[in-house]
């Protein structure tokens, strides 16, 4: 018990230090943006950037139906993107732009090179660093591709939110209808761009997490990060060349890539459903197992308990589904050679029985 309390205290201390560091970086970033766009631009840009975030976060969390990630890790990922990654990228991209200008003596060329070369490398590295950190630090919470995509999306949404403050603020300062047009472009037509780029890294790490092949573990994360940079560079390059080139890339590259990520997530969800059926077959009736191991079955199960048992029944059903998933993934990790946690498994079995009795 004392060891658990010590570990929780150490984790809490680390998260507290991270929060202070992230808030400091976020404040510095807002000050830098405000210095460029003015107070009015900063304030209105902040509101415009934050408006669509709850919708996109909700969509990202909906994907993770079988084993929802801990809220504090999801919040940490979002703060990493919104504060740390943006701050580091802002500084590094500015430094690189100075070098590009010194090399070309052309402001337009320096800006283009910054967008095509510096931004993809720097921004995907700073965002991806969070995923690598979670992969090694919280390995039990990083089971596969779905987890990788969810964490990547949270990091990228935070990054895009803060980055959009700069874009919207600059447009507002320029006057006219620029801010509205930019909101439609960045907030409605292409809000998925950063999540799409960083999902490549998340998929690579998720594939490494669920694979037992050392070649996959070694090369999948690196390949994912490279693809994230390549997609980001393609996006920025076509936007720099011409609007028609950007629209062509949007239709021929980005939309198919987004569709591909969706298909990968569907297959990954199917894999997780099979894991639940395999590892919970002896603990549940066939009808119960069918509900627990299907995305739509889980939704129907919770809704049914809500109508029959009320809000308390719905909450208990959500807890039951969560505990069942944790038990299945724990048994899967044990089967793959990770440390055996008999006490934790027995605790999950007991909690599952208690919740079943309530339902």
Give the model's pLDDT for residue 1. 45
| Mean pLDDT for all residues in the chain | 88
Task: Decide which of 122 and 12 is more confident.
Answer: 122
Give the model's pLDDT for residue 222. 96
End-to-end Cα spacing for the chain: 30
What average pLDDT does range 178-197 have in this prediction? 72
Q: Is the model's pLDDT at 58 over the cut of 70?
A: yes
Instruction: Report the predicted TM-score, pTM, of the whole model to 2 decimal places.
Output: 0.89
For the segment 302-324, what is each residue's pLDDT rounded down to a tens digit? 999 888 888 888 998 999 999 99
Give the model's pLDDT for residue 279. 93
Task: For the chain, give the longest Cα–Cα distance.
Answer: 74
Please report which confidence band the pLDDT of residue 340 belongs to, taking 50, 70 and 90 as the band edges. Answer: confident
Burial 309-332, CB ≥16 within 10 A → b, else e: eeeebbbbbbbbbbbbbbbbbbbb
Question: Which range, 46-50, 111-115, 176-180, has the best average confidence (pLDDT)?
Answer: 111-115
Poorest-pLDDT segment among 41-55, 115-129, 141-155, 257-271: 41-55
Q: Where are the domains of the chain?
A: 16-276, 280-358
Poorest-pLDDT segment among 63-72, 127-136, 149-158: 63-72
Residue with the two structure tokens 């929802």: 68
Report the length, in residues, of the chain. 359
Write out the DSSP string of 172-237.
HHH-TTHHHHHIIIIIIISTTHHHHHHHHHHHHHHHHHH---HHHHHHHHHHHHHHHHHHHHHHHH
Give the model's pLDDT for residue 121. 97
Poorest-pLDDT segment among 12-16, 66-70, 288-292: 12-16
Give the helix ranges, DSSP H, for 51-85.
Answer: 53-63, 71-79
Instruction: Show Cβ contacts of residue 198 under 8 Å, excluding neighbours closer than 6 positions.
Output: 124, 127, 128, 131, 152, 153, 155, 156, 159, 228
């Amino acid at each position: 018990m004392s060891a658990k309390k010590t570990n929780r205290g150490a984790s809490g201390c680390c998260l507290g230090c991270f929060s202070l560091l992230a808030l400091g970086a976020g404040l510095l970033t807002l000050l830098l943006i405000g210095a460029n766009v003015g107070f009015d631009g900063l304030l209105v840009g902040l509101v415009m950037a934050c408006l669509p975030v709850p919708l996109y976060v909700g969509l990202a969390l909906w994907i993770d139906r079988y084993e929802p990630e801990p809220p504090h890790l999801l919040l940490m990922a979002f703060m990493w993107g919104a504060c740390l990654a943006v701050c580091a990228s802002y500084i590094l991209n500015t430094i690189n732009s100075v070098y590009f200008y010194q090399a070309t003596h052309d402001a337009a060329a320096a800006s283009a090179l910054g967008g095509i070369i510096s931004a993809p490398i720097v921004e995907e590295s700073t965002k991806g660093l969070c995923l690598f950190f979670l992969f090694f630090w919280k390995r039990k919470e990083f089971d596969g591709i779905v987890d990788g995509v969810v964490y990547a999306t949270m990091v990228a949404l935070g990054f895009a939110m803060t980055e959009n403050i700069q874009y919207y603020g600059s447009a507002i300062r320029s006057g006219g209808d620029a801010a509205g047009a930019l909101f439609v472009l960045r907030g409605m037509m292409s809000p998925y761009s950063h999540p799409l780029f960083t999902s490549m890294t998340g998929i690579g790490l998720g594939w490494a997490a669920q694979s037992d092949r050392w070649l996959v573990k070694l090369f999948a994360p690196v390949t994912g990060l490279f693809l994230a940079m390549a997609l980001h560079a393609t996006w920025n390059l076509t936007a720099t060349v011409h609007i028609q080139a950007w629209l062509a890339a949007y239709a021929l590259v980005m939309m198919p890539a987004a569709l591909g990520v969706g298909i990968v997530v569907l297959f990954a969800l199917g894999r997780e459903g099979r894991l639940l059926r395999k590892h919970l077959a002896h603990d549940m009736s066939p009808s119960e197992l069918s509900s627990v191991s299907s995305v739509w079955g889980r939704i129907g199960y919770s809704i049914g308990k809500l109508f029959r048992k009320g809000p308390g029944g719905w909450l208990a059903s959500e807890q039951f589904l969560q505990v069942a998933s944790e038990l299945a993934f724990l048994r899967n990790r044990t089967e793959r050679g990770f440390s055996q946690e008999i006490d934790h498994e027995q605790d999950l079995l007991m909690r599952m029985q208690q919740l079943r009795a309530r339902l």
